Amino acid sequence: MKFLNDPKKKKIAYLVLLVLLAVFPFVITNSYYLHVCISIGVYILLATSLNLVTGFAGQLSLGHAAFYGIGAYVGALLMLNFDVNFFLAMIASAVVSGLFGLLLGLPTLRLRGDYLAIVTLGFGEIVRLVFVNWAEVTRGPLGLPGIPSPSIFGFEISGRTAFYYLVIVLVLITLFVMSRIVNSGVGMAMQTVKIDEIAAESIGIYPIKYKLIAFVVAAAFAGIAGCYYASYIAYISPTTFVYNTSVTILAMVVLGGLGSIPGSIIGACILTLVPELLRFMSDYRMLIFGALMVFMMIFRPEGFWGASKRVKNIYKIKAGGAKNGSDSGDNQRHD
Partner 1 sequence: MALLEIKDLQVKYGVIPALKGVSFSVEEGEAVALIGANGAGKTTTLHAISGIVKKAGGTITFGGQDITNKPAHEIVGLGISQVQEGRGIFSNLTVLENIRMGAYLRKDAKGIEEDMGRVYRMFPRLEERKSQVAGTLSGGEQQMLAIGRALMARPKVLLLDEPSMGLSPLIVETIFRTIKRLNKEEGMTILLVEQNAQMALYAARRTYIMETGEIVRSGLSKELKNDDAIRKSYLGL
Torsion of CA 181, 183, 186, 189, to 10 degrees: 140
Find the angle CA(254)-CA(258)-CA(263) to the nearest 5 degrees.
85
297 makes contact with partner 1 (CB under 8 A)? no
Shortest distance (Å) from residue 221 CB to partner 1: 24
H/E stretch holding 152: strand 151-152
Shorter beta-carbon distance to partner 1: residue 279 or 323 = 323
Cα–Cα dist 70/127, whole Å: 8
Among 19-27, 94-102, 202-210, 264-272, the segment contacting partner 1 (CB under 8 A): 202-210
Give whichever of 59 and 93 is closer to partner 1, judged by the CB atom.
Answer: 59
Q: Which residue in the set 9, 201, 244, 301 belongs to the binding site for partner 1 (CB under 8 A)?
A: 201
Minimal distance, residue 180 CB to partner 1, in Å = 18
**Interface residue with partner 1, options 206, 235, 284, 295 (CB under 8 A):** 206
E strand or H helix that includes residue 10: helix 7-27
**Of these, 20, 142, 286, 322, which contacts partner 1 (CB under 8 A)?**
322
Angle 113-133/243-256 helices, nearest 10 degrees?
Answer: 140
User: Using CB under 8 A, which of 198, 280, 298, 330 touches partner 1?
Assistant: 198
Verify binding: residue 3, partner 1, rule CB under 8 A. no
CB of 203 to partner 1, least distance (A): 5
Q: Are 56 and 214 in contact (CB under 8 A)?
A: yes
Least Cβ distance, residue 60 to partner 1 (angstroms): 17
Taking CB under 8 A as the rule, does residue 106 contact partner 1? no
332 binds partner 1 (CB under 8 A): yes
* DSSP notation for 282-295: GGGHHHHHHHHHHH
Q: Does 330 bind partner 1 (CB under 8 A)?
A: no
16 binds partner 1 (CB under 8 A): no
Pairing assessment for the beta strands 155-156 and 151-152 based on DSSP bridges: antiparallel
- From first CA to last CA, the distance across the chain in angstroms is 24
52 interacts with partner 1 by CB under 8 A:
no
- Tell me how far, at minimum, the Cβ of 213 lies from partner 1, in Å: 15
Applying CB under 8 A, does 202 fall inside the site for partner 1? yes
CB 190 within 8 A of CB 259: no
Q: Does 203 bind partner 1 (CB under 8 A)?
A: yes
Angle between helices 243-256 and 31-51 (to 10 degrees): 80
209 CB-contact burial (10 Å; exposed 0-12 / middle 13-18 / buried 19+) = middle
| Least gap, CB of 247 to partner 1 (angstroms) | 25
Given candidates 4, 142, 199, 277, which one binds partner 1 under the rule CB under 8 A?
199
- Would you count residue 318 as binding partner 1 (CB under 8 A)? yes
Is 254 a residue that touches partner 1 (CB under 8 A)? no
Which phi and psi angles does 151 have, rounded to 5°?
-135, 145
Binder among 15, 169, 195, 288 for partner 1 (CB under 8 A): 195
Rounded Cα distance, 244 and 233, in Å? 19
* 143 vs 237: CA distance, rounded Å: 4
Pick from 91, 102, 188, 273 the residue near partner 1 by CB under 8 A: 188
Q: Is 325 an interacting residue with respect to partner 1 (CB under 8 A)?
A: yes
Dihedral over alpha carbons 271, 276, 278, 279 (to 10 degrees): 150
Residue 225 CA from chain centroid, whole number: 8
Check binding of 204 to partner 1 (CB under 8 A): yes
Residues in touch with partner 1 (CB under 8 A): 185, 188-189, 191-192, 195-196, 198-199, 201-206, 259, 307-308, 313-315, 317-327, 332, 334
